[in-house]
Amino acid sequence: MHELSIAMSMIEMATQEAARQGAARVTALHLKLGQLSGVVKEALLFSWEVACVDTPLAGSRLVIEDAPVVVYCSRCQRERPLDSIQKFFCPVCHAPAPEIRQGKELEVIALEVQ
């Protein structure tokens, strides 16, 4: 499980940013999580609580915004969100759609600081 080390990286990043902002605490971290990021949401949420102990993020919320996979369909010539990451086919015309435009994000979007 690599989610614990990912949680720790996020906490380190947030702690540095909070210091730069002159804030003592971080009360929430907003994360954009792509369906193809390779990170399991439940494992990350579980790791979060454990990793936050004794840091300026203790008791903070991890707010996850799920980013669906968006592919480019060359037949429709349009971007399409996938219904399932088990099926890389255009949901409209059903052509194979290997070209990924979104869904790999693992990105800290914002912090709530105090």
Partner 1 sequence: MSTPRLVQVRQNVLKHNDVLARVLRERLNKAGVFAVSLVSSPGAGKTAFLEQTLKQLRSTCRVAALVGDLATDNDAARLARAEVPVKQITTGTVCHLEAEMVARALEGWNLSELDCLFIENVGNLVCPSSYDLGEALRLVLMSVTEGEDKPLKYPTIFNTADVAIITKIDLAAAVEFDVQAAQQSIQSVHPEMPIFELSAKTGQGMQEWLDFLHAQVQR
Binding site for partner 1 (CB under 8 A): 1-2, 5-6, 9-10, 13, 17, 21, 23, 27-28, 31, 36-40, 85-89, 96-98, 100, 106-114
Residue 71 as a binder of Zn ion (CB under 5 A): the answer is no
Cα 31 from chain centroid (whole Å): 5
Among 28, 107, 36, smallest CA distance to 68 is for 36
CA 20-26-30 angle, to 5 degrees, is 100
Q: Phi-psi category of 99—alpha, beta or left, where left has phi over 0 and alpha has psi -120 to 50?
A: beta
Residue 70's binding partner out of partner 1, Zn ion, none, with CB under 5 to 8 Å set by partner kind: none
Minimum CB–partner distance for residue 18 and partner 1 (Å): 8
Minimum CB–partner distance for residue 45 and partner 1 (Å): 15
